[in-house]
Every structure is written in C-alpha cells, then in structure tokens.
C-alpha cells in the first residue's frame, strides 16, 4: 500500500491563482518527498489539470459539500494523485468525463489519445486537452468513481516515476 505523502482539503479556490498555488505546492511536496528524483514537474501538472477540472465542473452550490480534496500518496517508483469534488449523478460533465476516460483507455497508447485530441481541438471540436495530457505527458493511468455521498474522485496513477524520454509523433 502506498504511503500517504500529503493531503489538502480546502474550500474551492475562487480563482485560477489558487490552482497555480496548489500546483506549486504539490511540486514542492514531491521534491521534499523524492529529493533528487528528476521528472517531477509533469506530476505537478497532473495535479493542476485535475484540480482545474474539479474547480470548473464541481457542484459547488451547497456550502456543506464545497470542499476540494487533493491527496498525493506514493512510494519510490509509483505515485497516486486523487482529486475529489462534489458532483451530481445526472451532471452531463460527469458523463463527458466517463466518455473521455474510456476514449483514452481504449486508444492504442496515451500518445495516440493525446494526438487524437489535439487534432480534434484543432478542428474546433468541443472539449479540452487536460485528461489526455495527464495520460501522455504526465505518464499516468486515469480512473474515476463517485462515492455514495456524491463525491467525484479522479485518480491518476503513474506508470513509472522519473524522467520520460520523448516519443516521436506518428506521421
């Protein structure tokens, strides 16, 4: 079982500066937990992308549920980032998330899922690049679940820690 590195539970950041501060805090925490390990910056990006999605798509109307959670657990060679936010089961954004995760999981590779999404965005398709970026640039496998209290938990687990080598794009 991975050891718990650090955890945040806070009111949802009211602006995007809060997301940037969390991203920087995660990077600092990772550097403290894994001193000298190269390639930690993409993992801070993973946390930032997941927090941005939570801020953008969470159901923040009920002040008793308006808490964003960010947990980082790990051990040498493996890291898990979990971001939680309130949701509603009938939210179309939740359905879009499930569809996007399935698209990424069924792609031939994270790189192909990323490139496919870039092409679609270039052709003015709706939807962001964040989750594909997490899978490809962050080197993470993604899952999501909804707890009985209607909290969406999006989990990114590294395929490996350390620097990644560049992969050539397919023609």
- Res 102: pLDDT: 93
DSSP-derived letter for residue 146 is E
Strand duo 78-86 + 3-11: pairing:
unpaired
DSSP-derived letter for residue 63 is T
All residue ranges of the chain with pLDDT < 50 are none
Give me the CATH code for the 3-158 domain, please.
Answer: 3.30.565.10
- Res 47: pLDDT: 93
Q: What residue ranges in the chain does DSSP mark as E strands?
A: 3-11, 67-75, 78-86, 140-146, 151-158
Rg for the chain, CA atoms, rounded: 16
- Res 152: pLDDT: 95
Give the up-direction half-sphere exposure of residue 134: CA atoms within 13 A in the CB hemisphere.
28
Q: How do residues 87-105 score in pLDDT, each as one tens digit? A: 999 999 999 999 999 999 9
Per-domain residue ranges of the chain:
3-158
């Amino acid at each position: 079982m991975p050891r718990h590195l650090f955890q945040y539970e806070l009111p949802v950041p009211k602006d995007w500066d809060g997301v940037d501060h969390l991203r920087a805090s995660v990077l600092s925490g990772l550097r403290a937990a894994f001193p000298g390990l190269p390639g930690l910056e993409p993992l801070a990006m993973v946390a930032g992308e997941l927090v941005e999605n939570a801020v953008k798509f969470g159901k923040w109307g009920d002040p008793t549920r308006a808490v964003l959670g960010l947990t980082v657990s790990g051990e040498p060679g493996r890291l898990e980032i979990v971001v939680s936010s309130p949701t509603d089961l009938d939210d179309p954004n939740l359905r879009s998330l499930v569809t996007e995760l399935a698209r990424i999981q069924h792609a031939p590779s994270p790189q192909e899922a990323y490139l496919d999404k870039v092409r679609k965005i270039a052709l003015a398709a709706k939807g962001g690049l964040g989750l594909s970026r997490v899978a490809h640039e962050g080197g993470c496998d993604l899952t999501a679940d909804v707890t009985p209290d209607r909290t969406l938990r999006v989990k990114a687990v590294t395929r490996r820690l350390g620097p990644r080598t560049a992969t050539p794009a397919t023609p």
